Chain A
Amino acid sequence: MKFSDEDMEHLEKLANIDIDPDSRERLVLDMSRIIGFVEKLQDTLTTGGQERVEQGGMGTRLREDIPSACLERDVVLEQAPDSHRGHFRIPPVIDGEMT
């Protein structure tokens, strides 16, 4: 199946990744080859419509809902690129100057 420039633009938006113009052409070609490679799944006869294969076969086992210690806020914020008064700080969500 042909993977096009338009497909790449769509995926960039979905995956929130800017693709560098210099590597764009090669990446489109790589994607075509990789999609061609996984295409052979279509030749395999399968039955059923189960969406998720459960690993381990034990079902989901939940912990008791008991409060326990968690990471300190300051410790977590130490690794943040930007923080302000105990919160993560981000650029404006919509276009415009931050006030």
Chain B
Amino acid sequence: MQPLTSYSISRLQEMFARGTVGPVEVVRAYLDEIDSKEGAVRAFIETSPDQAIERAKRLERLDPKEYPLYGVPVAIKDNICTSHLHTTCASKILAGYTPPYDATAVSRLLDAGAVLMGKTNLDEFAMGSSTENSAFKITRNPWNTDCTPGGSSGGSAAAVAAGMVPVALGSDTGGSIRQPAAFCGVVGMKGSYGRVSRYGLVAFASSFDQIGPVTRDVMDCAIVMKVISGHDAMDSTTLPGNGNDMLGSIDKGIAGLKVAIPAGMSGWGMDEDVRHSMDDTVKFLETSGARVSQVELPDMDVSMACYYVLANAEASSNLARFDGVKYGYRAEAATLSGMYRASRGEGFGEEVKRRILLGTYVLSSGYYDAYYLKAQNVRKMIRARFQDVFDEIDIIAMPTTPTPAFGIGEKVDDPVAMYMSDIFTTGANIAGIPAISIPAGLSREGLPIGMQLIAGAGREALLLGAAGALEKNCRFRERCLPDPRRWGV
């Protein structure tokens, strides 16, 4: 018999329905995985084994057929509010904070029968691309523990890649689900802006942020997206309707779809192995009946600049709430203004300060027009360009990142070099369109390479169908698994 921790969500549901296994057994199996691997991977800020077992015991009295995620262990990125677990955003300023409510995405998972296993590590306030900016620990890539897992949802991606949970939630502001999914050889998706409620997601850049799943395969991703999507009265930016057509095109394949490859990709510092993987993807698309063409996308350097101006402007405003008054860390000071400045100075890490300062700078008198207003107009142009592209084609295919995972410490002294690892992912956030990363192969060093598919707004079902077809061709999970000896198992 296969290990219990190897089954997909659908297979687990069949087994639960037949009574061949129960939630307690499955949860215990995953807790054992966490126990044996966490020391090496360091994916979690907090685990909740007792709560998980209690919850699994309660589920055993319920009918599995009524819950689409019955007994499925799930980890939650630690910037998503959980009322029975701390939510720290990997920041000293929120150490020990327990929110008084669950995020909508979390309550939907719980209503669907999922079991929370703990909170995963991230770059502080989701600001970073390597999970090295956490105030608590550095997460390691399960494929090579000398490498970063990417970020900011590095804990979620590493936990799924190492088999510690089958599903984790992440958040994606400029690529923070897809980039770590690519680095760790798992599937990561962000929906259209407004597809998943942001209620209870600690805000970084509100017009970019989206919660999404990290899973082992596309079908699991679609099942989780179906559960967490849909309008929420607590988030006025959510799209109308229940958004539940995630599985509608899952078996339709890619034949007949119009797929575009961005022109001039070779000029973006792409690693040779990533380029080979892209070439293989194009060959597959052509032989499987897709109509492949090239397309001019907005200049990616300019997109990055646009993203960093707008996202950090929003961050400087959103993070003003952390002032030592209502919750979180407070420094001792004689006056209120001194307390604000000292609490924020001592509570925030360096990258968060850099971004708040940049955001404050581009919004300040004398620079507002040149940076913030200009970036808003560039954003308008980028969105219009993507709309034009998706009037003509169905899917854009491109690598998720220019290189596989980089080494721990390799980019910490150069913030701009770190930012550039998101160069292929920020476009989808700027335009508010859905995108998914799936593992496509391994580099010669044995590190995963992710391929990204992007669709027009509201076309998640089509995107998941195309991703499923590409996944079948890559057969990544059948061919490649991280070596457990790396974790001392």
Contacts and interface: CB of A to CB of B under 8 A. Distances in A.
B236 A46 contact: no
Interface string B433-449: 00000000000000000
B1 interface: no
Contacts of A14: 360, 364
Contact of B356 (A8, A17, A33, A62): A17
A82 B328 CA distance: 10
Interface stretch (B158-166, B281-289, B341-349, B474-482): B341-349
18 contacts: A15-B316, A16-B320, A16-B323, A16-B337, A17-B348, A20-B345, A35-B358, A37-B308, A37-B419, A38-B371, A38-B375, A41-B302, A42-B370, A44-B299, A53-B207, A75-B100, A81-B327, A88-B326
Contacts, number: 173
B381 interface: yes
> Chain A, interface size: which category?
35 or more
Contact of A34 (B334, B335, B346, B415): B415
Given A42-B374, A55-B194, A55-B207, 19 more contacts: A11-B364, A15-B316, A15-B356, A16-B344, A17-B345, A18-B342, A19-B345, A31-B358, A38-B375, A39-B305, A44-B381, A46-B377, A46-B378, A49-B377, A60-B236, A71-B100, A79-B100, A81-B328, A95-B335
A75 B488 CA distance: 43
Interface string B376-389: 11111101000000
Please classify the interface of chain B as helix (H, G, I), strand (E, B), loop, or mixed, using the class held by over half of its residues. Answer: helix
Contacts of B346: 18
B398 to A, nearest CB: 21
Given A20-B345, A37-B416, A95 B334 contact: yes
A99 interface: no
A17 to B, nearest CB: 5
A81 B237 CA distance: 32
Contact of A17 (B97, B193, B341): B341
Contact of A55 (B237, B299, B335, B356): B237
